[in-house]
Chain A
Amino acid sequence: MILGDLLGRDVYDDGGTRLGRVADARFVVDGVPRQLLAEARLLGLVVSPHSASSFLGYERTGLRQPWPLPSLLRWRHRGSFLVLWEDIVMIGAQGVRLREGFTAYSPALD
């Protein structure tokens, strides 16, 4: 599938409650080794309750400068969380559905 089709889709829990939208996809380069880089597998999706996409990623880093951009963007993306691939039960035209009892991880990169 093409990643652009997934970004911005609604995310629902197993009960049908809307949790937000897919703001980003996180990959980890730990797959089958190749000649140059190893395969990058999908680790999970960053879900943002208040915004359709991610901008500059301040909510995932500890950067504080330049004032006041980090504070504003962190507020814009407040409540973002990372859900792992294992907790995704279906990706469809209606959105992404998560498993019962899924874990919301911190989206922080460091």
Chain B
Amino acid sequence: MKRGHALTPVPAVPGRLLDAQLHLLDRQVIDNDGVPVTTVDDLELSGPALETELAPGTAAPVLTALLTGPVLGTRIFGGRPPSSRLIRIPWADVSEVGVVLKLGVSGEHLDAGWVERWIRDKIIARIPGGRHDPR
């Protein structure tokens, strides 16, 4: 293996390169109306199977979903929430990756925003004047 500055450049690929830590993780996600939805806490891949030897020519896994969920505690103390507690936003809904990740769908019906919707409908709406625009 060559080290240092002599490393071979990566063979050219036709698509855009995305490094998970640099371009995806912790980025804000906004919906097609420009409304913030959540942030990207983790990513889900279609594979590979763990502890299984990969034969040459095995198809590379693809990104299936952006994950979000209750990760504050695990960020501080380590580990991650169980997979069942994480909320998935399918990669097929992502329309653009830039400073923020833009979705091509409305965030109103995504599971990722249920806490905000619940607070809006059950608490804010019951405060006098809470059902209309403050202007």
Interface residues, chain A, with chain B CB atoms under 8 Å away: 1-5, 7, 13, 19, 23-31, 34-44, 46, 53-54, 56-57, 60, 79, 81-82, 84-86, 88-93, 99, 102-109
- Distance between A74 CB and nearest chain B CB, rounded to angstroms: 12
Contact B18 A26 (CB under 8 A): yes
Query: Which residues of chain B are within 8 angstroms of A26 by Cβ–Cβ distance?
Result: 17-20
Contact B62 A60 (CB under 8 A): no
Q: Is the interface of A mostly helix, strand, loop or mixed?
A: mixed
Also in contact, A24 and B13, with CB within 8 A (given A36-B94, A37-B94, A79-B3): no
Partner of B43, one of A3, A53, A108: A3
The docked-state distance in angstroms from the alpha carbon of A7 to that of B42 is: 11
- Distance between B2 CB and nearest chain A CB, rounded to angstroms: 6
The docked-state distance in angstroms from the alpha carbon of A37 to that of B3 is: 35
The docked-state distance in angstroms from the alpha carbon of A75 to that of B97 is: 29
Partner of A2, one of B4, B62, B80, B93: B80
Range class of the B interface residue count? 35 or more
Query: Which residues of chain B are within 8 angstroms of A37 by Cβ–Cβ distance?
Result: 91-92, 94-97
CB nearest neighbor in A for B83: A2
- B61 an interface residue at 8 Å Cβ cutoff? yes
Query: Which residues of chain A are within 8 angstroms of B62 by Cβ–Cβ distance?
Result: 31, 39-42
Partner of B51, one of A82, A90, A104: A90
CB nearest neighbor in A for B24: A27
Which B1-46 residues have C-beta < 8 A from chain A? 1-4, 7-10, 13-22, 42-45
- Distance between B123 CB and nearest chain A CB, rounded to angstroms: 32
The docked-state distance in angstroms from the alpha carbon of A41 to that of B50 is: 18
- Distance between A62 CB and nearest chain B CB, rounded to angstroms: 13
Contact A40 B18 (CB under 8 A): yes
Query: Which residues of chain A are within 8 angstroms of B22 by Cβ–Cβ distance?
Result: 24, 54, 56-57, 60, 109
Query: Which residues of chain B are within 8 angstroms of A84 by Cβ–Cβ distance?
Result: 10
Query: Which residues of chain B are within 8 angstroms of A7 by Cβ–Cβ distance?
Result: 20-21
Contact B60 A43 (CB under 8 A): yes
The docked-state distance in angstroms from the alpha carbon of A83 to that of B44 is: 20
What 19 new A-B contacts, CB under 8 Å, besides A24-B19, A44-B10?
A1-B50, A2-B67, A2-B80, A24-B21, A27-B17, A28-B15, A28-B16, A30-B13, A35-B104, A39-B91, A41-B61, A57-B19, A79-B3, A84-B10, A86-B56, A86-B57, A89-B54, A92-B51, A102-B1
